[in-house]
Amino acid sequence: MKTIWTYKINPDDLVTIIKLPKGYKILGLMTDQRYPFLSILVDTDKKHEIRKRFYSYKTGEPILVVDMKVLNFIGSYYWNLSEHHLFEDKHGSKVTKK
């Protein structure tokens, strides 16, 4: 069954790891008064999970990645009076069984 789940991103952490079913689709990035969230379309019938890494950088922070091609820009958000930018690591995912 396909459904939309939301996942909290903690801007104080550089990396957020989320377990997602294969075939997921990121729909958007939003914030409430406490945290940013990712809305993701998932298929709950999928038997394998993928551990995906998401990186949150503040404006002006160095991005310590040798090759920017491994990062997929998701969106920007304001949190705690700072602008942040969220990236998905296109590589570095690990497939695990449920």
- HEC profile for 38-83? EEEEEECCCCEEEEEEEEEEECCCCCCCCCHHHEEEEEEEEECCEE
pLDDT band (50, 70, 90) for residue 75: very high
How high is the pLDDT of residue 84? 94
Q: Domain extents for the chain?
A: 2-97
**Per-residue pLDDT tens over the stretch 64-73:** 776 788 889 9
pTM, entire model: 0.84
Whether residue 43 contacts residue 5, with contact meaning beta carbons closer than 8 Å, is answered with no
How far from chain centre, in Å, is Cα 79?
16
Sign of CA dihedral 4, 8, 9, 13: negative
Mean of all residue pLDDT scores within the chain:
87
